[in-house]
Structure 1
Amino acid sequence: MDPRSEVLLRQAELFQGPLLIAGAPPDGLLAQLPQAHAWTWHAGDHALLESRFVGRCHCAVEPPAVDVPTAVLFLPKSRELAAYLLTTLAARLQGGTLYVVGEKRGGIESVARHLQAFGKPRKLDSARHCQLWQVSVEQAPQAAALHTLAKQFELSLPDGPLQVVSLPGVFSHGRLDRGTAVLLRHLEALPEGHVLDFGCGAGVLGAAVKRRYPGSHVTMLDVDAFAVAASRLTLAANGLEAEVVQGDGIDAAPLDLEVILSNPPFHTGVHTDYQASENLLQKSAIHLRKGGQIRLVANTFLHYKPIIEAALGNCQVLEEADGFRIYQATR
């Protein structure tokens, strides 16, 4: 069980009534809190929770319409996302109680100053390298519309400026990350057809490809609901249309693809996780049509070439720059 869930269950008597758990981990916590509902924005976590607790799970950028006097936030790594979630939950809890649980290395010790805006916070527990905080919401804030928290910036590309819109919690929020910047230099001579932007984030690659190759059908896929929402905003800001899908990894992608483009993720919260990226490489041949191509960027310390060669029988490095490599392989 997640150590944060273990800390909650040390105070289980506080959580037996109607309850909303935001950022709920995909463990057995809900089995011990029978009146709790889960809110997550991670497609994989939602699928696991829904398979065990049917009808008690919600996956979106906004909380479900359940009337509860108590909520628990599993503190996310992103400070911007944490601020949005705290405000959104507290706005619904006038006279109710908000709890926040998180790992010390995830920033839980700094949460008290955020909670002071709602009431008088107190630390209830500290164990498993985690802390549990509580505040009775005496001053419920005004909920902020998510789109008002978006950050927009402009990229200068060879075919003109591209507007990018990102949301709290999305990778590289409000700026272009160095890996994607390198990959944007290698969009020439892409086969036209069905293109997948895997781990689309704010939609930089998918939007750039759709504008450069308007005849291609572009699918943008991410596990995170905030990334999916940001990608749709980026497309709209540039007058572009593409398919945007929330799903858990390459298994959620279409088949018979002409191109897979990716700056694949390898972090989950405060923990390092390579599974989604390695699954992408290992299963790329299943999703590419004969002659289809994968082109991706990765940190130089990640040993992806042998995995790509094992899956597709070939792999070349197009460029190595700024601590990144561009890999290309053909099925």
Structure 2
Amino acid sequence: MNYEQYRWLIRYCQPVKKGLTLPEMSYIVRKVTSLNKSISKMNQTRMNWVGALLLVVLVGGSIAAEAPQRIISLAPNITEILFALEIEDRVVGVTDYCIYPPKAAQKASIGDLFNPNIEQIFALQPDLVIGLPASTPLLNTLELQGIPVLTVHNETIADILASIERIGDKTATSTRATALIDSIRHHIEPHSPTPSTPISAMIIIGRDPGQLTGIYVAGGKTFLSELLVRAGGQNAFADIKGYYNEASLEAIIQRNPRVIIELRPAAEQPQEAELRANWQPLAPQLQAVPQHLVFIFGDYLLIPGPRLPQIYHALLQALAPVSNE
């Protein structure tokens, strides 16, 4: 058996989902048939094992692979998912920005998304590295070195729930993943009763310190915008290009949102009064300012993971003064 055939065989020893199409089944038949021919010198026991593999695949079953025991997370939301699935003991490495739960910060650091320490990653001997699409170059490099990798998405609510499901499948914690997904879905049900008119709001994910410049807002395709709508709001910048983009002060004044929601690092929370004061010069032009509807929340709202319910309730809190009018 050559190396390429061995890689193919191991690949299909991983769990296979039910519902293969006819072309997929045909392809697997051809591959296993070819593999059988190439290993004709193997003893009968091994030949029977290959036949059993084909049968398992065709009926939609799986051959259980050993669950990964040394996992590296390349993003905070992934780390939070792994901890929520109660497999933190299997996490051997995280990024510098993985600080929640607090025990995550005690794990070995592999740097950050843009400056990963590849030597440290190899030193930790991972049997699974999980990252976001932004980590694709690194993940490709690791995969070429024989390290199993998994890429998950995190832009929308559907992405987040799918990430939990995929990580659960990959780590043999599907039951916990399903329970976590069900819990999240239950706690982010659309608010009832909803306002007769959606409340216009903007979500600022960052701006220049002490200035109303370099203002970046969440667009309509983000999980933040989806949660805002569920809470009875309407994203004033739902139409911007991409997921997050810069908004000029002129555009903000023109759209004049009823509520302003600003996300800042937790370390800056004592400066909330100062952050709100930055908006005071615009009181005559922005209705949210004189009505005290500028809300400051920690940047945990930017982590698209198991804390979706907390994020949702923070948005409900911001909209409540207007909803209750």
- TM-score, normalised by the number of residues in structure 2: 0.35
- TM-score, normalised by the number of residues in structure 1: 0.34
User: In proportion to residue count, which structure has more helix?
Assistant: 2
User: In proportion to residue count, which structure has more strand?
Assistant: 1
Which protein shows a greater Rg? 2
